[in-house]
Chains A and B, each alone.
Chain A
Amino acid sequence: MKRIIVTAVLVFFCFLLQTSVCPWIAFGGIKPNLLIILTAAFGFMSGEKTGIWTGFACGFLVDLFAVYDGGSGNGDIFGLYALLYMLIGYMNGKCNQMFYPEDIKLPLLMIVTSDLSLNVVYYVFAFLLRARLDISYYFLHIMLPEAVYTIIIAFLFYPVFLFINKRLEKVERGSTD
């Protein structure tokens, strides 16, 4: 129960940071993606289910404030980001067996891979299907900078998430004893 509340608060907090604070620290118009750090880290640290729910919550919030309507012409389309973030959470949860708290290289690699795959898939749906074919440009100028920036920010945020997860695990162990 405690885990659910803490995760929900974290998702909410990261979403606020992502939409209201990240534009200030945007570098050349590129914002880092905090939500992918959160989703990947929680999936990776505590398994598939946590990953799925964290991803779903993050993605749903992003959908709620996104503007792309898929060309339908009647307002917003919900679910695309929710689905993508959820799959990313699940994939990261699959790698839970490889998780050691001391190691920071592997989680960072997972975060970069997650960010890149999210953007590649989103590019295909939202840009390639509208005949924006210059994939090398979008890769070099949108996806790669975002991944690099996300990694830099992850150095700050991942230890925080790790610490929170450690505390949660301690509390959970305490309650089952």
Chain B
Amino acid sequence: MSPVIKKKRKKFTISSKYLLLILSCFCALLMIFTFKTSLFEGPLKVAASYVVVPFQRGIATVGGYMSDRSKELGQLKDVLAQNQELQAQIDALTIENNQLQQDRYELNNLRSLYELDQAYSDYEKIGARVIASEADNWFYSFTIDKGEEDGIRVDCNVMAGSGLVGRVVSVGPNFSKVQAIISDNSNVSATVLATSENMIVSGDLQTVQQDGVIRFSQLSDKNSRVSIGDKVVTSSISDKYLPGILIGYISSVDTAPNNLTKTGTITPAADFSHLEEVLVVMELKQVTEE
């Protein structure tokens, strides 16, 4: 080699303006690209599942332990009082239960007569722990510690207790992201149990923050049969949600400006402020082919 080439090369630097320009273009292209396709998601999610999720899971475990302990201390008194109350309730319920069992026997007989299958009473579910939430304050979503490897797929319904929490919007190998029904960009097709009328339930940041309720709209109820406290469940015409899952209870009803339909608010059945464990329903409403 000649000594001319051997001369130490000048370190390659790029001015910050150009760096900003290049990265901005990269971001813009990425936005357009990911808006149209979901090609990048696979590798990125695999990377995230190895790098970020184990740490989040660790923090969630420690946090869950600590919050459990502090809750135990704080709630001991409440629990004792509650215990007495519940004992009384058990007695009342036992009596009621006996009656209901008789009714059920009768119902089963009638059902078999009508050959109705006992649909949507037993969905297969798995439990999952909430390990992280969204980084900003705008949308309500969270990450759970089960993913593709546990059989979860996009659009799986997520419940907590007896109420609907949301649905899985994307899955990685060992985590999945859940969009809550109270998130501002969520819409659920629902039915009022009392009248079997359909409506749209949409999350709304403003009402959730103010009163802890979500909106519903497009309810056709000409004779005003829907009243406050009525149960609202997912409808059978929804293409993402399984039918008959409890969403919440109607807390107010108004007439829409078009004078034809009704709008109002619903109190969700699931407690969104203390979500630690959720149930993922493994069944899908419909399998989309890609």
Q: Is the CB of B135 within 8 A of A19?
A: yes
**Chain A 59-70 interface mask (CB, 8 Å, partner B; 1/0):** 001101111111
In-complex Cβ contact of B34 among A19, A48, A76, A137 (8 A) = A76
Give the chain B neighbours of A86 by CB distance below 8 A.
20, 23-24, 27
Nearest CB of chain A from residue B285's CB, rounded to whole Å: 16
Q: Is the CB of B138 within 8 A of A68?
A: yes
Cα A68 to Cα B60 in complex, Å, equals 23
Cα A127 to Cα B141 in complex, Å, equals 16
Give the chain B neighbours of A138 by CB distance below 8 A.
205-206
Cα A86 to Cα B34 in complex, Å, equals 19
A:73-112 near B, CB below 8 Å: 74-80, 82-83, 86-87, 90, 93
Give the chain A neighbours of B133 by CB distance below 8 A.
19-20, 22-23, 31
Confirm or deny: B87 has a beta carbon within 8 angstroms of a beta carbon on chain A. no
Cα A152 to Cα B264 in complex, Å, equals 38
In-complex Cβ contact of B27 among A47, A83, A132 (8 A) = A83
Give the chain B neighbours of A137 by CB distance below 8 A.
206
Confirm or deny: A10 has a beta carbon within 8 angstroms of a beta carbon on chain B. no
Q: Is the CB of A90 within 8 A of B60?
A: no
Cα A100 to Cα B139 in complex, Å, equals 37
Cα A137 to Cα B273 in complex, Å, equals 21
Q: Is the CB of A74 within 8 A of B134?
A: no
Confirm or deny: B238 has a beta carbon within 8 angstroms of a beta carbon on chain A. no
A:1-18 near B, CB below 8 Å: 12, 15-16, 18
Confirm or deny: A21 has a beta carbon within 8 angstroms of a beta carbon on chain B. yes
Cα A62 to Cα B141 in complex, Å, equals 13
Cα A114 to Cα B23 in complex, Å, equals 19
Q: Is the CB of B35 within 8 A of A77?
A: yes
Q: Is the CB of A20 within 8 A of B27?
A: no
Give the chain A neighbours of B37 by CB distance below 8 A.
74
Give the chain B neighbours of A154 by CB distance below 8 A.
none
B:2-46 near A, CB below 8 Å: 16, 19-20, 23-24, 26-31, 34-38, 40-41, 44
Confirm or deny: B229 has a beta carbon within 8 angstroms of a beta carbon on chain A. no
Confirm or deny: B227 has a beta carbon within 8 angstroms of a beta carbon on chain A. no
- The prevalent SS among residues of B at the interface is helix
Q: Is the CB of B63 within 8 A of A74?
A: no
Q: Is the CB of B41 within 8 A of A75?
A: yes
Q: Is the CB of B141 within 8 A of A82?
A: no
B:128-155 near A, CB below 8 Å: 131-139, 141, 143, 154
A49 touching B59 in the complex, CB below 8 Å, given contacts A69-B169, A78-B30, A80-B31: no
Confirm or deny: A39 has a beta carbon within 8 angstroms of a beta carbon on chain B. no
Most chain B beta-carbon neighbours within 10 Å: one of A64, A72, A126: A64
Cα A52 to Cα B19 in complex, Å, equals 8
Nearest CB of chain B from residue A120's CB, rounded to whole Å: 12
In-complex Cβ contact of B16 among A19, A83, A93 (8 A) = A93
Confirm or deny: B218 has a beta carbon within 8 angstroms of a beta carbon on chain A. no
Query: A70: nearest residue on chain B (CB-CB)?
Result: B35
Nearest CB of chain A from residue B11's CB, rounded to whole Å: 13
A64 touching B48 in the complex, CB below 8 Å, given contacts A52-B16, A137-B206: yes
A62 touching B139 in the complex, CB below 8 Å, given contacts A16-B55, A79-B28: no
Give the chain A neighbours of B179 by CB distance below 8 A.
67
In-complex Cβ contact of A65 among B60, B63, B135, B184 (8 A) = B135
Cα A47 to Cα B37 in complex, Å, equals 36
Cα A89 to Cα B214 in complex, Å, equals 36
Q: Is the CB of A19 within 8 A of B132?
A: yes
Confirm or deny: B89 has a beta carbon within 8 angstroms of a beta carbon on chain A. no
Confirm or deny: B75 has a beta carbon within 8 angstroms of a beta carbon on chain A. no
Confirm or deny: A166 has a beta carbon within 8 angstroms of a beta carbon on chain B. no
Q: Is the CB of B137 within 8 A of A31?
A: yes
A79 touching B31 in the complex, CB below 8 Å, given contacts A20-B60, A65-B177: yes
Q: Is the CB of A66 within 8 A of B137?
A: no
A–B pairs, 11, beta carbons within 8 Å: A12-B51, A19-B56, A31-B135, A67-B141, A77-B31, A77-B35, A83-B24, A83-B28, A123-B138, A126-B138, A138-B205
Q: Nearest 10 A-B pairs (CB), nearest first?
A: A67-B141, A48-B16, A79-B31, A79-B30, A83-B27, A19-B132, A20-B59, A79-B27, A75-B38, A23-B133
